[in-house]
A and B are shown apart, each in its own frame.
Chain A
Amino acid sequence: MQTLRVNGQTHTVDVDPDTPLLWVLRDIIGLDGTKFGCGIAQCGVCTVHLDGRPVRACALQVSQIGDGAITTIEGLDDADPIVHAVKKAWIDLDVVQCGYCQPGQVMAAVGLLKTVKNPTDDQIDSAMSGNMCRCGTYMRIRKAIHLAAGEAV
C-alpha cells in the first residue's frame, strides 16, 4: 500500500512500489488531465509538480515520492498569480494547437516561473527543453511565458 498526497488530498493505493506515478494518477485516482506520451521521461507530456518542482510522472516510482506533495494540472490553484498569469497568457496568445502536450507545457512553465521570476530566452529554452510539441508551438510557448512573467509581477 502506498499513500500519496495529490492536489491536497490523501490517497492510499494498492500498487507495487515501482509503479510509475502516472499510472496511479490516470488509472487509479482518475486524474487523466496528465497525459501519457513516451513513458521514458523524454517528452515531458506527463509533467506534474512534486513539492512545486516539475517532474515526469511516467518515470517517477511511487516509492520515491514519500510524503512529497503532488500537484497535477487539475490541482493548479487559479488564485495563485503565476498560475493565473500563465493560463491567461496561454489563452491570449492562443498557444495551443492540438493540445496533447499542453498540460505538461503549462506545468513546466509554472514550475519555471516559480523559481525564475523573469526568465531570459535561454532560461526558458533550458527549462522547457524536455517538453516536446509535435505541432511546433514552441515560439508561442516562449512568448506566453514572457507575457505571463510580465503580468505576474
Chain B
Amino acid sequence: MMRHGLSRPSFLLALLAGTSLMSVGPAQAAPSVERGEYLARAADCEACHTVPGGVPFAGGRAFPVPGMGVIYAPNITPDPDHGIGKWTDDEFVRSVREGVSPGWKHLYPAMPYPAYARMSVDEVKDIRAWLATVPPSANTPSPNHLKFPFSIRAMMVGWNLLNGPASSYPDDPQKSAEWNRGRYLVEGPGHCADCHSPRTLTYGLSADRAFAGTVVNGLRAYNISPDKSSGIGGWSDEALAQYLSTGHADGHGTASADMAEVISFSLHYLTPADIHAMVVYLHDLKPQSSDDAASPPRKPAAGDDTLPQATKGARLFASTCAGCHLPDGSGRQSPFANIIGSRTLSADGGRNLVRIIMNGSTLTTASGNQIMPGFAGGNLSQRDLNDIAAFVMTHFTEATPSEDKLNAAAKGP
C-alpha cells in the first residue's frame, strides 16, 4: 500500500530531498566556486585584503582615513580562528552587502558594502564558496586605530541611514543589456565610485559630482565621467577598453599606482564582453567638469630624439628616465613605457607624476609584470625628483608647473 501513497512525513522528506537536489543543479542556488572567483576578481577583494606582497586575503593592509585614523583590512581567508572560516554563509552575505559582521560588528565604509549590495545574495554566496578554497592564514591584522568618536562602530548605524547600502536595482528597460551589465559592474562589484567620486561631508559618495574624480591617499583618482576636457569623453571605446583590460592605451599612457592595482587584481581578469559593457556605461554617465584636467600634449614629441640639455631636470630625465621611456616618451622596449598622452604627465599640477616618480608602480598584465622603480631615497634628492617632474610637464605637455604644488604632492597625504 505504501508503494502507492506517501505518508505525510515521508512526503515532506521527499519535498526536502527534491529541494536539495535542485539546489545542486548548475543554474540554481548552489554556490558556484567558478562564478565566485570571477566575481571576487570583479569586486577586487584581494587588493585591499592583502598587504602588498603578502599572503593573499590574509588582511593587514592599512587604510588611513583623513581626520579619523587608520583602518586595517581583516583576514578573510578560511582560517577558523583568524579568518572567516567559522562564519555561516548568511553572516558573510550580511557583512558584504550590509556592512554588519557577526556579533553586530558594524563595518566602516572603507569596505564598499553599499556598492556590493548591488550584487545578489546568491552572487555573494558564490564569492564565499570561492574564498573558502583559498589557503588559510593565521595572520592577525592590527586592530584599527580610530579617534573617538569614530572608534564606536555603532555610529555606522546612523551613517547607514544617510549613505547606506543600496540594493540590487532592476535593469533599466530603456537601456541596452550592455549598459545594464556595465552599470552593475561599475556601480556594484567594481565600486569605481569609491575612489573616483568625491565624498560628502558625512563621507558618503557624492551623487551630484559622481565620477568627477577626487584625491585618495595623496593621489588624484581621475575624473572618469565622459566630460571632453577633464574626463574620458575624448577616449574612443577601443582605447578605454584597452586601458581597462591591459592597463595601457596608446595616447593615454599606462595605469599606475592604485589604478595599476585595480587592473592587476581585478580588471584584467574580466571578459572582453564585460569590459565593453563597462565602457558603454562609463561613456553614458553624466559629464562632470573638474579643475584637475590634464594639459594638452606638446607636439611633435614623437621621433624627436634630442633632449634639451639646458636645465637640470632635462639632464636628469635624460640620464634617469630616457633609458626606458626614450627621449620622445614613446617607450624603449615595452608599450607600457609609452607615456605620451598620459594624464599623469600634467593633471592636478603634477600630483600623481611626482608620487609615481618617487614610489614607482607595478602593473600585472597577461604577459607578466611591468615595473617602474621608485626613485625616492636613492641618489636623487626630492628637489631633483621635482625638477624631473617639472621638466616632464613642460616638455611633454603645455602645463606650467608650480613648485608649491610639486612640494605638496611630494609631502603626500
Binding site for B on A (CB under 8 A): 16-18, 40-44, 50, 53-56, 59-61, 63-64, 115-116, 120, 122-123, 125-127, 129-130
Q: Whole-angstrom distance between the alpha carbons of A130 and B307 in the complex? A: 13
What's the least CB distance linking A102 to chain B, in Å? 17
Q: Whole-angstrom distance between the alpha carbons of A50 and B332 in the complex? A: 10
- State the 5 A-B residue pairs at the shortest beta-carbon distance, nearest first: A130-B323, A18-B368, A55-B333, A129-B318, A63-B367
Is B10's CB within 8 Å of the partner chain A?
no
Decide: A122 and B333 in contact? CB cutoff 8 A.
no
What's the least CB distance linking A110 to chain B, in Å? 15
Q: Which residues of chain A have C-beta atoms less than 8 A from B371's C-beta?
A: 40, 59
Decide: A122 and B306 in contact? CB cutoff 8 A.
yes
Contacting A at CB under 8 A, from B298-329, are 305-309, 318-320, 322-324, 327
Q: Which residues of chain B have C-beta atoms less than 8 A from A63's C-beta?
A: 367-368
Q: Which of B308, B332, B373 contacts A56 (CB 8 A)?
A: B332
Is B334's CB within 8 Å of the partner chain A?
yes
Q: Whole-angstrom distance between the alpha carbons of A41 and B332 in the complex? A: 10
Known contacts A63-B367, A115-B305, A116-B305, A42 near B323 by CB under 8 Å: yes
Decide: A61 and B324 in contact? CB cutoff 8 A.
no
Extra contacts, 9 of them, besides A64-B367, A130-B322 (Cβ < 8 A), are: A18-B368, A40-B371, A40-B373, A44-B323, A56-B324, A56-B332, A122-B307, A129-B318, A129-B322
Q: Which of B319, B334, B369 contacts A129 (CB 8 A)?
A: B319
Decide: A123 and B305 in contact? CB cutoff 8 A.
yes
Q: Which residues of chain A have C-beta atoms less than 8 A from B305's C-beta?
A: 115-116, 123, 126-127
Count how many pairs of residues, one from A and one from B, have CB atoms less than 8 Å apart in the complex: 72
Decide: B368 and A60 in contact? CB cutoff 8 A.
no
B287-304 interface bits toward A, Cβ cutoff 8 Å, 1 = contact, 0 = none: 000000000000000000
Decide: A17 and B324 in contact? CB cutoff 8 A.
no
Decide: B306 and A123 in contact? CB cutoff 8 A.
yes
- B315 nearest in chain A by CB position: A129
Decide: A50 and B306 in contact? CB cutoff 8 A.
no
Q: Which residues of chain A have C-beta atoms less than 8 A from B322's C-beta?
A: 126, 129-130
What's the least CB distance linking A111 to chain B, in Å? 10
Q: Which of A18, A43, A44, A64 contacts B333 (CB 8 A)?
A: A64
Decide: B327 and A18 in contact? CB cutoff 8 A.
no
Q: Whole-angstrom distance between the alpha carbons of A13 and B331 in the complex? A: 26
Q: Whole-angstrom distance between the alpha carbons of A42 and B367 in the complex? A: 22
Q: Which residues of chain A have C-beta atoms less than 8 A from B368's C-beta?
A: 16-18, 61, 63-64
Decide: A18 and B369 in contact? CB cutoff 8 A.
yes
- A121 nearest in chain B by CB position: B309
What's the least CB distance linking B203 to chain A, in Å? 40
What's the least CB distance linking A122 to chain B, in Å? 5
Decide: A59 and B318 in contact? CB cutoff 8 A.
no
What's the least CB distance linking A95 to chain B, in Å? 19
What's the least CB distance linking A87 to chain B, in Å? 23
- A115 nearest in chain B by CB position: B305
Q: Which of A56, A60, A126 contacts B306 (CB 8 A)?
A: A126
Q: Which of A41, A61, A126 contacts B367 (CB 8 A)?
A: A61
What's the least CB distance linking A115 to chain B, in Å? 7
Q: Which of A17, A116, A125, A127 contacts B309 (CB 8 A)?
A: A125
Q: Whole-angstrom distance between the alpha carbons of A116 and B306 in the complex? A: 11
Q: Which residues of chain B have C-beta atoms less than 8 A from A42's C-beta?
A: 320, 323, 373
- A48 nearest in chain B by CB position: B333
Q: Whole-angstrom distance between the alpha carbons of A50 and B333 in the complex? A: 8
Decide: B318 and A126 in contact? CB cutoff 8 A.
yes
What's the least CB distance linking A42 to chain B, in Å? 6
Decide: A41 and B323 in contact? CB cutoff 8 A.
yes
Decide: A126 and B324 in contact? CB cutoff 8 A.
no
Q: Whole-angstrom distance between the alpha carbons of A149 and B59 in the complex? A: 59
Q: Which residues of chain B have C-beta atoms less than 8 A from A44's C-beta?
A: 323
Please list 20 pairs of residues, one from A and one from B, whose beta carbons are closer than 8 Å in the complex, sorted by A's number.
A41-B332, A42-B320, A42-B323, A53-B333, A56-B332, A59-B324, A59-B334, A61-B368, A64-B367, A122-B307, A122-B308, A123-B305, A123-B306, A126-B305, A126-B307, A126-B309, A129-B322, A130-B318, A130-B322, A130-B323
Contacting A at CB under 8 A, from B229-248, are none
Contacting A at CB under 8 A, from B22-69, are none
What's the least CB distance linking A119 to chain B, in Å? 8
